[in-house]
Structure 1
Amino acid sequence: MKKIFQILLMLGLIMTPFFAEAHVKWFTNISPHKDSIEHILSPIFIFFALLAAIVLASLTLILPKMAEWGPMKRWEDRFSSLRKYSRYILKYGTAVALMIQMANGTLFAPEFHMHNTVAVVLTWITIGFLLIPHHISTKIGAVILLGLFIYVTIHHGIFYMLDYGFYVAIIGVLLVGNTKFEKAGFPFLYLGTGLSLSWVAVEKWVYPDMALDIVAHHHVPTFGFAPDLFVVMAAFIEFVVGYLLVVGILNRVLGFVVTCIFISTTMLFGMTEVIGHFMIHIVLLIFIIEGVSFYNPPIKMHKTKLDQFIFVFLNFIFVLATFLLIYYRFA
């Protein structure tokens, strides 16, 4: 069983598209053209939706066996000893991410250029407060950062900023530190990050021309698949990663795999990738350290394996349909 798991993990790493986690709008200048819903819901799309649902549901049967392996237990103990550093990693990692963005003249994402002097000054003040090793200064920095996020949202719209909803989760974790709500912080981070990744994935289905332009102009390897099929597969991979984070499955493995993907995309897309995804790297590092020890995932509501299998299968289809229809309606 151990060898089988290693083989499956390696295949997943090899077959994972290099731009699966990329924000399409960062790397193309073509005008977005919404595809028809009939074309999006193609037989290929439906096939991958059902396949993903079955694979995800099957994990509820496989994971308990994996947890009993000696190497997995040693891995759990090794990373568990680092949990005391998680909040410091998030706090100072956020400060470094903001520094990188400010050096590029942007905030939150490469396309949000900062021309307002007050906003720039407030961002540097936020960085200063986050670097002070005290929870009060951390909360002050988080409040200012929330104000900056609202400012950018007013200028770009709520729908557009849903791509970066994980920043709200980060701010939430920083705000509840050293309070009675502290334990709710990291579960909120899991939820916010997972939903953001799933939301961004839908963009590749609704605006496939943008993704296809990236594949063509950046020479993205498609592993022998047709570019349009490759785009559909890449979006499913990203959506599944986000969904798994929300339901609390394979968080450490996912954190490691997605981090490897981001490192590979940095070599493909350069500095823009670093600016846009450095904060995500910090979040994924926390997921690798934390696992799900503090998180009571939704799947735990169901006690039997059959109930968990059915829950994950149906819930994935429901979440996929909901995200797609909402994105398509308001895109």
Structure 2
Amino acid sequence: MPLSRKKSLLLACAFGFSGPLILAGTGAAEAHVKWFCAYDVAGQPQGLEQVLCLNFEWLTGLALLCLMFGCLAEGTPLGGALLNALDRVTTRIRTDTELLVRATLGFFLVSLFDLGGIILTPELKTDVAWIPWFQLALAGCLIWRRTMPITGLGLVFLFSYATAQYGLFHLADYPIFLGIAVYLIAKGLDLTLFDIRPLDIVRWAAAITLMWASIEKWAYPEWSAPLLAAKPQMTMGATPELFMQAAGVIEFTLAFALIWTPLVRRCAAIILAAIFVSAIFEFGKVDAIGHSGIIVVLLAIAADDVRVPVRVRQALLAPAWYGAALATFLALYYVGHAVLFGGLNTMPVI
């Protein structure tokens, strides 16, 4: 193996273990690329034979080891001590979760009104004059608990309206809004859907959102090229190709962790929240507004003190479930893109 390739793989391994913490600590984090760079959703994505390369396999294997280690540690006295510590540190967030969600979403919707010409996220532009006022009205409905469901229904309407304007594939980036909408409706009406907590619904929505976004990093790494060229320190010496592969694997793994065992998902939520917060220092007001909703959801997940018995088999089953999730999202992304934009003749081949 050439020396440069060995160096790349070693860097990938180091990035896999420490990358999220480095990003959170130094501010070298990624913004949502569609908010800052040119993109073409209908463009041909990078082939699966390029995505599923040796570096990708090494990074994925390392991510699985970290995930399994977290599962095994959770059932030990150390894991119990960490959960107890998290419970103590996040008490205030846990008791005021609903208030934090309402306040943050209110800030988000008022900010959209102030910016104007935006449907939910910065790249979804509109010249419809009533949209900003509608979003301001939804913010007002968050003041009272009884009117929270109106905001939830309004978010569903805006998501549907944006889907009609920009297409289902584009809005597949943002199921987090539907999760938040269900949370607001269920909390406002004191509903429990099929014995599933509202927080668990929004947690799954956040996980799906981030897993889908990670596929985009592999499918369209060229979208981030202008950002990496403007901020080369983000790559920490790695090639842009390796950095995007590692960033996608880290994001997918942390997103998958949000639907795994309590300690694993709480730690993943903390790391993800730190990454998003650090990105604000790099990319400013637009990033702060756009990511405010998911940041408060991640804080709520980190503060969630629900515990379940964790067994060794959950660590052993982690690779199978992770692999199934990875294969499912790759298939949905590539097959969905081929059907919607390229026709069946462009169906991906491994």
Equivalences, count = 313
Show the counterpart of 1:272. Answer: 286
How far, CA to CA, are the matches of 2:283 and 2:48 in structure 1? 30
CA positional deviation for 1:93 = 1.5
TM-score (norm 1): 0.86
Gaps of at least 5 residues in structure 1 are: 1-7
| Pair 1:323 & 2:329 matched | yes
CA RMSD of aligned residues (A): 2.5
- Contact 2:119 / 2:131 at 8 angstroms: preserved in 1? no
Show the counterpart of 1:39. Answer: 50
Show the counterpart of 2:147. Answer: 137
Give the alignment partner of residue 110 of structure 1, picking from 104, 122, 139: 122
CA positional deviation for 1:191 = 0.3
Give the alignment partner of residue 197 of structure 1, picking from 177, 186, 210: 210
What is the aligned-residue identity percentage?
A: 24
- Contact 1:33 / 1:209 at 8 angstroms: preserved in 2? no
How far, CA to CA, are the matches of 1:10 and 1:50 in structure 2? 15
Give the alignment partner of residue 190 of structure 2, picking from 179, 189, 204: 179
Distance 1:36 1:147, change over 3 A: same
CA positional deviation for 1:78 = 4.0
How far, CA to CA, are the matches of 2:97 and 2:284 in structure 1? 28
How far, CA to CA, are the matches of 1:304 and 1:246 in structure 2? 16
Give the alignment partner of residue 287 of structure 1, picking from 301, 305, 311: 301
The AA in structure 1 aligned to 2:221 is P
Q: Deviation digits for residues 52-102 of structure 1, max 9, x if unmatched?
A: 223212221112223332x65243134245423111111222111111122
Q: Deviation digits for residues 208-267 of structure 1, max 9, x if unmatched?
A: 111233211333421221221111001111111110112245233233322222222112
| Pair 1:13 & 2:21 matched | yes
SS class of match (2:232): coil
Show the counterpart of 1:97. Answer: 108
How far, CA to CA, are the matches of 2:249 and 2:29 in structure 1? 9
Show the counterpart of 1:23. Answer: 32
Give the alignment partner of residue 132 of structure 2, picking from 120, 127, 133: 120
| Pair 1:67 & 2:79 matched | yes
TM-score (norm 2): 0.81
Show the counterpart of 1:5. Answer: none
Q: Deviation digits for residues 166-193 of structure 1, max 9, x if unmatched?
A: 0100000111114241752000011000
How far, CA to CA, are the matches of 1:310 and 1:75 in structure 2? 25
SS class of match (2:124): strand
The AA in structure 2 aligned to 1:160 is H
The AA in structure 1 aligned to 2:21 is L
Show the counterpart of 2:98. Answer: 87
The AA in structure 2 aligned to 1:52 is A
Alignment of 1:211-290 (within 5 A): 211-249=224-262, 250-290=264-304
- Contact 1:244 / 1:251 at 8 angstroms: preserved in 2? yes
- Contact 1:214 / 1:220 at 8 angstroms: preserved in 2? no
